[in-house]
Structure 1
């Protein structure tokens, strides 16, 4: 394995599971995300994202916040403490804009992750693993 590939692999492993990649979110933030560019093995810095909530009465999405991932690919404070309530939420990731800035074409112009929160006292972490041709998400811790 080349030294560049080994460095990318170590960086990806660190962010995915080791103690060094954890604990960077503010303790008071109930909802966080982290985007990793799996093609490079590095954090996806500067990726634009929006958080919306589905309103029960109108069944329309209401945008709660718009933000960008930091140099570590994280967006730690999507909702301030006390603003989370039970319901359906959507994280919209502008993957096309991110890949365009990388000089790379991609198959998915955006990624939407829709999830349900039933207990607003829990913390939620929604990671996104991203390449130009695929993506994966899961409920993190």
Structure 2
């Protein structure tokens, strides 16, 4: 059977509900003790890198509901160019998220980026930032592979 380009492929929550439930549990655990605004920035940035339209859309809407500004959302891909818009913790988390997300070609999370994040967060918080980046990367891979798409809004 030939699929139409960009047509959804499979509904993981329907065919593998136990996997979907485990992902929801992981997502909920990663959120604990993590600032909700920071969590949304991590999710948006990783989703941008991974080209997951569904997650970008979902988490931008969630960030807006939490009161995130349009400027910070629009400039998120260029956060290094506008550091005054993002806290030190946000910058450290974004740098770590980017390096965790772009693990290709034998690259690793650098000592410098890890040290910056470790200095900006308590151990517990750092664990949660790592877990959030890990979780959204997993969701992005599900979304991209299954071609999850956001609704088209007027």
**After TM superposition, is the score higher than 0.5?**
no
TM tier relative to shorter chain:
under 0.3
Greater helix content: 2
Name the TM-score, length of structure 2 as normaliser. 0.24
Which fold has the larger relative contact order, with Cα–Cα distance below 8 Å and residues 6 or more apart in sequence? 2
Q: Normalising to structure 1: TM-score of the pair?
A: 0.25
